[in-house]
Structure 1
Amino acid sequence: MIDDTTATPPSTLSNDERTWALLGHLSAFSAFFTAGFGCVLGPLVVWLVKRDSLPFAADQAREALNFNLTALIVWIALWIVTIGTFGIGIFLTLPLGLALLGVWIVLTIVAAISANNGQTYRYPLTLRLIK
């Protein structure tokens, strides 16, 4: 989903800015190496490093950070339901968790491609916790 009201024209973006925006999204995949919390740490680092110097990259890293915080909150809620039902809830939470994983991977890749093309991407159903 592209929000044309805040999109920066691709012709005005440098390769460096588009690359950092791409990294802001793809850095979430560090979750596979950091017990899941890298999905927040990667975009957070990119946002903190580039928020003053590259506005498009900072915007996309913040968007990735918000999306990954939302996904992490849902993932933790699924674990709480599983534990709270003494494991019986896994019949519901496992399929939901796998669906969340699939949606997370697909949306992260779509966002990275959009950012690399110089287009602003907004994740659907995302809590905007970081403004």
Structure 2
Amino acid sequence: MLREDNQFLMFTHLGQLAHFVFPFGGLLVPVLLWQIKKDEILHLEEHAKEIVNFQISFTIYAIVSGILAIFFIGLGFLIIIGLITVIFPVLGAVKAANGEFYKYPLTIDFLK
């Protein structure tokens, strides 16, 4: 039986900050939480898919910006991406804690 758990959804969004601890942690932690609790938490799948889409999108943006940084073009983009990867998950966590869904801006929908 599915139950509402806004606090768990909030922690799923905050799990993205694990990329500061270990490589790809921002993707792995939310995916693991999703797989462990997918049959227990209401709306977890929608939140997790949005998180995965955000992580994949911004990984691609960071790679492209990193390549452009070689030519001194993408350095500013890397700084902006770094800020966004902290700010957006926190906004998503606040929305989830309030029982709302957060659609991450600038995200490509890989998973629907």
1:1-131 equivalences under 5 Å are: 14=4, 17-35=5-23, 37-82=24-69, 87=70, 89=71, 91-131=72-112
In structure 2, C-alpha distance between the alignment counterparts of 1:129 and 1:24, rounded to whole Å: 19
In the TM superposition, residue 51 of structure 1 has moved relative to its aligned partner by 2.2
Give the TM-score taking structure 1 as reference length.
0.76
Q: Is the 8 A contact 1:26 1:108 kept in 2?
A: yes
Q: Deviations over 1:62-101 (max 9, x none)?
A: 211111111111111222334xxxx3x2x22111100111
My pick for the range that moved more, 24-33 or 44-53, is: 44-53
**Gaps spanning 5+ residues in structure 2: where?**
none
What is the DSSP-based 3-state SS (H/G/I as helix, E as strand, rest coil) of the residue aligned with 1:65?
Answer: helix
RMSD over equivalenced CA pairs, Å: 1.6
In structure 2, C-alpha distance between the alignment counterparts of 1:129 and 1:55, rounded to whole Å: 21
Q: Deviations over 1:105-127 (max 9, x none)?
A: 11111110000111111111211
Count of residue correspondences: 110
Give the TM-score taking structure 2 as reference length.
0.87
Q: Percent identity?
A: 26
In the TM superposition, residue 128 of structure 1 has moved relative to its aligned partner by 1.3
In structure 2, C-alpha distance between the alignment counterparts of 1:75 and 1:126, rounded to whole Å: 13
**Gaps spanning 5+ residues in structure 1: where?**
1-12
Aligned counterpart, 1:10? none
In the TM superposition, residue 50 of structure 1 has moved relative to its aligned partner by 2.2
